[in-house]
Amino acid sequence: MITTSRYASAETRNIARRMAADSGDVFAARGKRTVEQLVSLARRKGEDRITIIEEHDGKPSIAADIAIDEMGRWRWAGEKAIKARA
């Protein structure tokens, strides 16, 4: 599942939607959901990870991963920089 940080810019939301479509993942609008609420939603959808697209100065900059185990426990599982598109 792919989502954004809270209060993400339109550009960041569009990038997240595009990443979800390109990878075949589910996109979930973040809104005011907490990480725990996102984990619950992901589990209901059968997902075992969440990627949160974070931004810096209104631009998407980092993809932070959350791993979810079969008991619904979650942990931060790394992050990687998002390359700007030309």
* Tens-digit pLDDT profile for residues 19-77: 999 999 999 999 899 999 999 999 999 999 999 999 999 899 999 999 999 999 999 99
Which pTM was predicted? 0.90
Domain 2-81 has CATH 3.40.50.970: no
Question: Among all chains, which residue has been given the structure tokens 């974070």?
Answer: 54
Q: From CA 63, how far away is CA 3, in angstroms rounded?
A: 10
The whole-angstrom distance between residue 78's C-alpha and the CA centroid of its chain comes to 12
CB atoms within 10 A of CB 62: 14
C-alpha–C-alpha distance, residues 66 and 49, integer Å: 5
**Bridging pattern class, strands 49-56 and 2-4:** parallel
